[in-house]
């Protein structure tokens, strides 16, 4: 396993004075879409807000406002918690924290350690290894478009990015422990490269468990992927997909019926549903004793009909996020597609939408080619 050697992973981001130019440079590669939406679809879109938040300094707010990535036209707007408006300075701070190993209990890992660009912003390992080298029970998902998810995690147990970040930070991922968050926040806030930035972004509050997770969440809300080849095709550019991909798109919608759960434009039905959307496809069941099977959503909802059901993952960027499924048990995209098109694995709770679509090898290849048209172009690193 290779983590970064230096504890702070963004070179040069320690600058305390955030000029409009550096904000533009830092935010530039994040946005997949260069298109500005004609209008924003939600009351509280992530689009630049000129209203100074609890944090943004009046002197820098107007210049910064122009630099936040707008929600891609192909995806529309999303809502942002009223008490945590996204500002460029907050995003810069949040990104720095996301990459900083000093946030973890033992300095061993950052958020980024399990959500790296080289594995599509999901985990490289089947199951993530958390603080104290303890193996976690699930595979780390991708960070693209998490801003749109009403429920986070494979089982939807977190209802905001802020809550999720706190969970990851206190829990097994970073290992700090709920009771030590305050002390850890003080430690971070006292570092010279952070103090002035926290004071500027969160005047009066500085670094607290709340402001640290708010900044991280603000950064995550800029990780937008809406300019894939598929988006260009969908907007009318016939040449954006090759022939195999076009056949794959047809299969995806019709014969293979993948879109029943992987609904465009997010390629997940979990995005527009307030409680998320969970299905049992039979992963993580074969060969295991009942007591060893991850109950998934059932543990959160206490509804037996959701036993071993997991959030439908978005298929955006999926060609880069191997290994697959909540337990990372499937190594290649082709094998994942074959598994899904074959109807999943039979068990007492298999989703009724799944059955063997009897696809030929060529049809499976067409589906795999099509999924390649969902590759995102951005990166988490500046
Ligand atoms: C040790 C590896 C590891 C570290 C470190 C880590 N994560 Fe994760 N992350 C995971 C795993 C595994 C999951 C899925 C867990 C689950 O669903 O139960 C996850 C899930 C997520 C999700 C939910 C995505 C979705 O589709 O629902 C977000 C957002 C996220 N992590 C952000 C963060 C942030 C922010 C940090 C730092 C505070 C962080 N992660 C640190 C492994 C890690
Ligand atoms: C009944 C809803 C449903 C249908 C229909 C469906 N999927 Fe899925 N898909 C899911 C769920 C839920 C998961 C995650 C399951 C898990 O990890 O336990 C998933 C996971 C995947 C993954 C792994 C993604 C990742 O990031 O780990 C791929 C690839 C995939 N599906 C492709 C397809 C294709 C191709 C089709 C059509 C042949 C299809 N799916 C049909 C619900 C569905």
For 220-250, write each residue's pLDDT tens digit: 999 999 999 999 999 999 999 999 999 999 9
Nearest to 340 by CA among 363, 373, 320, 317: 363
Q: Which tokens in the block code for residue 247?
A: 């056949």
Measured distance CA(285)–CA(329) in Å, rounded: 11
Q: What is the pLDDT of residues 271-287, one digit of tens each?
A: 989 999 999 999 999 99
Average pLDDT, rounded, for the chain = 86
Percent of the chain exceeding pLDDT 90 equals 81
Residue 45 has a CB neighbour count (10 Å cut-off) of 19
Q: What is the pLDDT of residues 205-218, one digit of tens each?
A: 999 999 999 999 99
Considering every ligand atom shown, identify the ligand nearest to the alpha carbon of residue 102 and give its number: 1
End-to-end CA distance of the chain: 23
pLDDT of residue 42: 38
Tell whether ligand 2 has an atom less than 6 A from the beta carbon of residue 262. yes
How much distance in Å is there from the Cα of 336 to the middle of ligand 1? 22
Q: Which tokens in the block code for residue 37?
A: 């939406």
Measured distance CA(367)–CA(380) in Å, rounded: 27
pLDDT of residue 17: 33
How much distance in Å is there from the Cα of 256 to the middle of ligand 1? 30
Does the pLDDT at position 253 exceed 70?
yes
Ligand 2 atom at minimal distance to the Cα of residue 324 = 27
How much distance in Å is there from the Cα of 130 to the middle of ligand 2? 26
Q: Which tokens in the block code for residue 367?
A: 């589906």
Q: What is the CA radius of gyration of the chain?
A: 21
Q: Assign 67 a pLDDT band (cuts: 50, 70, 90).
A: confident
Does the pLDDT at position 154 exceed 80?
yes
Measured distance CA(324)–CA(119) in Å, rounded: 11
pLDDT of residue 272: 83
Ligand 1 atom at minimal distance to the Cα of residue 131 = 1
Does the pLDDT at position 37 exceed 60?
no
Question: What mean pLDDT do residues 9-24 have?
Answer: 35
Does the pLDDT at position 40 exceed 50?
no
Q: Label residues 324-363 b or e (16+ Cβ within 10 Å = b).
A: bbbbbbbeebebbbbbbbebbeebebbbeebeebebeeeb
Measured distance CA(276)–CA(259) in Å, rounded: 16
Find out whether 375 and 228 touch, Cβ atoms under 8 Å: yes
pLDDT of residue 274: 92
Tell whether ligand 2 has an atom less than 6 A from the beta carbon of residue 374. no
Q: From residue 93, give the alpha-carbon distance in Å to each of 144, 218, 314.
A: 19, 9, 27
Tell whether ligand 2 has an atom less than 6 A from the beta carbon of residue 188. no
Residue of 102, 140, 178 best suited for mutating to test ligand 1, as the one with most atoms within 8 Å of CB? 140
Furthest C-alpha separation in the chain: 63
pLDDT of residue 232: 98
pLDDT of residue 382: 85
Cα angle 281, 286, 289 (rounded to 5 degrees) comes to: 120
When mean pLDDT is compared across 10-24, 245-259, 338-352, the lowest value belongs to 10-24
Q: Which residues line ligand 1 (CB under 6 A)?
A: 109, 111, 113-115, 123, 128-130, 136, 138-141, 146, 149, 152-154, 161, 164-165, 168-169, 173-174, 216, 220
Does the pLDDT at position 94 exceed 70?
yes
Does the pLDDT at position 38 exceed 80?
no
Q: Assign 120 a pLDDT band (cuts: 50, 70, 90).
A: very high
Does the pLDDT at position 155 exceed 50?
yes
């Amino acid at each position: 396993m290779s983590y970064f050697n230096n504890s702070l992973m963004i070179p040069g981001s320690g600058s305390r004075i955030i000029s409009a130019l550096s904000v533009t440079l830092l935010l530039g590669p994040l946005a997949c879409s260069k298109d500005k939406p004609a209008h924003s679809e939600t009351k509280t879109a992530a689009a630049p807000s000129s209203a100074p938040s609890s944090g943004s300094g009046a002197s820098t707010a107007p210049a910064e406002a122009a630099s936040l990535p707008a929600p891609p036209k192909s995806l529309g707007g999303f809502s942002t918690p009223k008490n945590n408006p996204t500002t460029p300075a907050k995003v810069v701070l949040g990104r720095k924290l996301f990459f900083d190993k000093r946030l973890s209990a033992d300095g061993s890992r950052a958020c980024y350690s399990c959500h790296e660009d080289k594995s599509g912003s999901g985990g490289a390992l089947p199951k993530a290894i958390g603080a104290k080298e303890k193996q976690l029970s699930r595979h780390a998902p991708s960070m693209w478009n998490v801003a749109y998810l009403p429920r986070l995690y494979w089982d939807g147990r977190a209802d905001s990015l802020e809550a999720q970040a706190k969970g990851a930070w206190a829990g097994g991922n970073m290992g700090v422990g709920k009771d030590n968050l305050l002390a850890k926040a003080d430690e971070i806030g006292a570092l010279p490269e952070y103090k002035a930035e926290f004071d500027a972004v969160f005047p009066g509050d500085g670094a607290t468990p709340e402001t640290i997770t708010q900044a991280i969440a603000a950064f995550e809300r800029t990780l937008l992927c809406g300019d894939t080849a598929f988006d260009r095709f969908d907007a009318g550019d016939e040449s954006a997909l090759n022939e195999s991909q076009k056949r794959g798109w047809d299969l995806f919608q019709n014969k293979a019926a993948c879109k029943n759960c992987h609904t465009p434009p997010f390629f997940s039905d979990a995005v527009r549903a307030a409680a998320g959307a969970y299905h049992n496809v039979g992963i993580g069941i074969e060969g295991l004793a009942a007591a060893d099977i991850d109950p998934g959503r059932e543990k959160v909802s206490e509804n037996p009909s959701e036993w071993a059901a997991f959030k439908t993952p978005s298929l955006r960027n999926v060609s880069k996020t191997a290994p697959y499924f909540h337990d990372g048990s499937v190594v290649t995209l082709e094998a994942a597609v074959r598994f899904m098109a074959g109807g999943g694995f039979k068990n007492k709770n298999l989703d009724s939408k799944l059955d063997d679509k009897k696809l030929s090898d060529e049809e499976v290849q067409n589906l795999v080619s099509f999924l390649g048209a969902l590759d995102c172009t951005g990166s988490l690193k500046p």
